[in-house]
Amino acid sequence: MISEVLLWNAIIGGVVFGAVYALIGCSLNVLAGVLRVINFAHGEFVIAGSFFSYALLNSFDIHPLVALPICAAAFFFAGIGLYYLLVPRLAHSDEPETASFLLMFGVSLMAVSVITWIFEADIRPMNFSFEPINVTLFKIPDAYGPGRDGRVLVPTARLVALVVNLGLIAALTWFFYRTLPGKALRATTMNREAVQIVGINIHRLSAMAFGLATALAGITGVLLALVVPSIDPNGGPDIALVGFIVIVLGGLGHPVGALFAGIIFGFVEQFSNLLLPQAAAQMVGFIILVAVIFVRPEGLFGKGQLK
């Protein structure tokens, strides 16, 4: 029988990791919806954000929370530069989708090579701390027997990461639904040609989308370093895989759907790890992915196939 303490830990873990997965899926979905580019280097961009925070912490003693706006600005402008360097050339290809696949796969290999060249292939710990280290959310009377109360603890770093993450999700939702650039991005995912007809500069909008997605990837890397305070330079493919699962669940080109899908996948992952053997738990997410593709190909929150 599963103890109530473990059950609550799984719920909290689902919220924390789900919020991180939501940001990964949303940033990846912005590119997929606006540019029709599947960024296979997205996981490496997230890892680069973690190492960016690691470098600032070890070289300049800048705390990861302080590093967040620095990382966002640096990655935003780097993303715009990468867009103008790489993406417009795809339009001259006979098969732009195949060319984008090969291009971003090559960028992924280059990114992981650069990261391992600079930081080597060792897993690096993030040596920062919060006071107190853990926060007791509540106590469960007699959780381990009569007179043996249980405590539901959350590392302060994870709690801080969750608060920042939820704030970012709220800000992104407001951006996509209440601002003109956000509405333009959503309109582009629905009908790219119509957006150009009304006079919107699609190249400038696409550059902003690439910069936004890259900035979100960098921010996610910093938050991931708070949630899991060690950085694996080879962890990019696993992160990208989670992002692909989330955008399929939420609906391709549906950034807000990706936010909810990330939370759902976080809960599924945490409860699978709690209830099932490790080997079986790893399959649950993919089983759900395949089921969604068969039953609802446009995703749980999609409204139909994008044109």
Report pLDDT digits (tens) over 148-166.
667 788 889 999 999 999 8
For the chain, give the mean pLDDT.
85
- This prediction has a pTM of 0.90
pLDDT band, residue 114 (cuts 50/70/90): very high
In a domain, residue 141? The reply is no
Confirm whether 153 is domain-assigned: no
* Residue 307 maps to a domain: no
C-beta separation of 240 from 189 below 8 A: no
- Looking at the structure of the chain, the number of domains it has is 1
State the Cα–Cα distance between residues 173 and 259, nearest whole angstrom.
Answer: 9
* H, E, C per residue of 65-96: HHHHHHHHHHHHHHHHHHHHHHHHHHHHCCCH
The boundaries of the domain holding residue 263 are: 4-128+160-295
Tell me, yes or no, whether 302 lies in a domain.
no
Q: Are 24 and 46 in contact (CB under 8 A)?
A: yes
87: domain CATH number is: 1.10.3470
Confidence class for position 277, pLDDT limits 50, 70, 90: confident
Q: What is the pLDDT of residues 219-245, one digit of tens each?
A: 999 999 999 878 999 999 889 888 888
Residue 236 covered by a domain: yes
Does residue 135 belong to any structural domain of this protein?
Answer: no
CB 7 within 8 A of CB 143: no
Maximum Cα interatomic distance, the chain, rounded to a whole number of Å: 72
Specify if 147 maps to a domain: no
Helix axes 202-227, 4-34, angle to 10 degrees: 160
